[in-house]
Amino acid sequence: MLLENIAVSVIIPAYNEEKTIEEIMLRINKTMETLGVPYELLVVDDGSTDNTRLLAERHKATILTSQTNRGKGYALKTGFQKAIGNVIVTIDADGSHQPEEIPKLLKPMMLSGVDIVSGSRFLGRQETSPTKRLNTLGNHFFNFLILLLTKKRITDSQTGFRAVRKRVLDEIEVVSNGYQIETELTIKTLRNGFSVQEEAITCVKRRAGNSQINVLSDGIRILMTILRTYFASAHRDFANTRVQNREPR
């Protein structure tokens, strides 16, 4: 059995999360210290207009600040560039994810060398789902479309709670600046042959504020990202095959 040593960079993209950011950071630090692996905590303040950055600075973390709101994808890419761990964990700042479940994502990597472990809101059984019905239906539609295109089943393609090896991020190029980055990561890791595993996570109702996702506009962007990412990859694979099969003159 593989028992791998890892160093973890936990990245929190945050935009106007002053009501939840401190508690999330405290719980992450406590969880990681209990786990006993080397780690760093990176908070990417995506142009917040409230006290998110000031509150985050009170805790054990590196704070990365954008002067304007650039989007969740941009914030995550900023964190990816600065992270020094060989495993990256991404978690939302709004309190919907449970920091205590981070070890659940890391365990398959330590024991079996999995490349990506994604937290799924739709594995296992929850008494009540905090995810709005329309968002859930959209997620299931995107999951089905990804299954048709990649022949690989994913139950939660839109999850923001996942662990991924740094070398995976070094090998793929993520370009999305908005929420569609989750979908882009899902498609590109599946298409490039990395091992992906899902683990059931507990998702709770956001404690403050409303979701910043616009169901219609962000849904369209996610759909276009799925199609664009898949067909760009398929075209590249086809071109590479033609080059390899071309007979020398």
What residues does each domain of the chain span? Answer: 8-245
Superfamily of domain 8-245: Spore Coat Polysaccharide Biosynthesis Protein SpsA; Chain A (3.90.550.10)
Q: What is the DSSP letter of 127?
A: S
DSSP lists the bridge partners of residue 13 as: 44
**pLDDT tens for each residue of the chain, 249 residues long:** 565 789 999 999 999 999 999 999 999 999 999 999 999 999 999 999 999 999 999 999 999 999 999 999 999 999 999 999 999 999 999 999 999 999 999 999 999 999 999 999 988 755 445 566 667 787 788 888 888 888 888 899 889 999 999 999 999 989 999 988 998 999 899 888 899 999 999 988 665 544 555 556 767 777 777 787 777 765 455 344 443 455 454
Residue 194 sits at φ, ψ, to 5 deg, of -75, 150
pLDDT score, position 125: 58
pLDDT score, position 216: 63
Are the C-beta atoms of 213 and 182 separated by less than 8 Å? no
Given the DSSP bridges, would you call strands 8-14 and 62-66 parallel, antiparallel or unpaired? unpaired
Please state the pTM of the whole predicted model: 0.83
Helix, strand, coil percentages in the chain from 3-state DSSP, rounded to 5: 45, 15, 40
**Which of 41, 52, 58 minimizes the C-alpha distance to 15?**
52
State the CB neighbour count (10 A cutoff) for residue 114. Answer: 22
Token pair in block for residue 91: 């978690």
**Dihedral angle computed from the Cα positions of residues 64, 68, 72 and 78, in that order, rounded to the nearest 10 degrees:** -40
Burial of residue 110 (number of CB atoms within 10 Å: 0-12, 13-18, 19+): middle
> Cα dist. 40→13, 63, 102, 159, 247 in Å?
14, 11, 13, 22, 51
Distance (Å, whole) CA 47 – CA 94 = 16
